[in-house]
Chain A
């Protein structure tokens, strides 16, 4: 099993759904929690795992806001998109009867 392989649990899939649908809208920690309707205790470990596996990429906000610290924005990498597509296909093959709505930033 390569390091880039991630077990696609339901929370991981929800986080990846949010990132997939983000497009140009920056996705950051709290925003992902809000849209995926997951707690911060679930989302941050997932983000760390995905980042280490190279599925997503984190980058700090360029502009330094005056009233708050900088946010960290997350985007899917090419590896992440390919891996996510493959994992979703495998998941659907195993569970063809399950249809779950996607949650996104749009």
Chain B
């Protein structure tokens, strides 16, 4: 049975395309501002001289043109290489003219390559995203008209179609790691033959919206897993106490060595440390992080990371795709 969750390729591309447009508008604005300053012969009011803005502008156009290439990979490579060269050339020119500094040149080139790569990618996504959105919009418009003409039966079909597309979007948001859940999601969405009842259109829509929410939560969890791992490592007793003690001692040192103004300044730091410690201890209790385990023997070492990290990060880190087993039920 072929699963078809959506007739359009990756509807989430539309959202990414919108992000790309926003990034493009921002960089275009920055570059235009710099060019205007250059044209008026004014000294640059920002961090970089006008030549740098000119390079950014060129990089932006290179990225936008690279977005026309057929595949995202080609677009990214073309945008990154082209705009990187343009930015490098312009920044070296700026260095020669104004003594911009090597660090700033590296920063500008890196930023240009990154932004042009983003724009190049979003250029491709823009094409498919607009096409997908237009298709969805026209399809839904036609179906809404049909539903109005035909009554509740068509309305049910319309809601089911929307719910299916939302389910497809949830799968896209969930990422390739969870694509194997497509069959499960669709089975739970349609649930035909369950106790002889047929799900209502609005119920399916609610279920599909929940799937999107769940996929978003899972992706956020994926993204935050390294941070949780780090937090759990730092929160294991007695690391938190050591870090806090070190910070307080440093604050006291600066307090003692900087006079009254340093005292007032460091008092704020001590208060900041104190305000962090209480939530940290609460988090330790909440995530049930055990103390650092020490091995007996001559060599004293801390427990392995897997022993001290919390459940969510370990779960994320050791995530394995459940193999599609079959049940006898």
Contacts and interface: CB of A to CB of B under 8 A. Distances in A.
Contact of B311 (A3, A41, A43, A60): A3
Nearest to A75: B327
Contact of A68 (B190, B306, B310): B190
A62 B187 CA distance: 14
Contact of A60 (B214, B286, B324): B324
Q: Is the interface of A mostly helix, strand, loop or mixed?
A: mixed
A68 B186 CA distance: 8
B318 A3 contact: yes
A104 to B, nearest CB: 16
Nearest to B319: A52
B212 A28 contact: no
A65 B322 contact: no
B320 A72 contact: no
B309 A68 contact: no
Interface in A40-64: 40-45, 48-49, 51-53, 57-62, 64
A40 B207 contact: yes
B218 interface: yes
Contacts of B209: 41
A71 interface: yes
A17 B210 CA distance: 21
B186 A69 contact: yes
Q: Is the interface of B mostly helix, strand, loop or mixed?
A: helix
Contact of B214 (A42, A62, A72): A42
Interface residues of B, number: 54
B212 A62 contact: no
A54 to B, nearest CB: 10
A71 B187 contact: yes
Interface stretch (B67-75, B150-158, B265-273, B287-295): B287-295
A40 B218 contact: no
A99 interface: no
Interface of A: 1-3, 5-7, 24, 26, 28-31, 33, 39-45, 48-49, 51-53, 57-62, 64-65, 67-73
23 contacts: A1-B309, A1-B311, A1-B314, A7-B287, A7-B311, A28-B184, A28-B188, A29-B185, A29-B187, A29-B188, A41-B212, A41-B217, A44-B214, A45-B218, A49-B312, A52-B315, A60-B326, A68-B191, A68-B193, A69-B190, A70-B183, A70-B184, A72-B181
Interface of B: 1, 3, 178, 181-194, 206-207, 209-215, 217-218, 221, 232, 286-290, 306-312, 314-315, 318-320, 322, 324-329
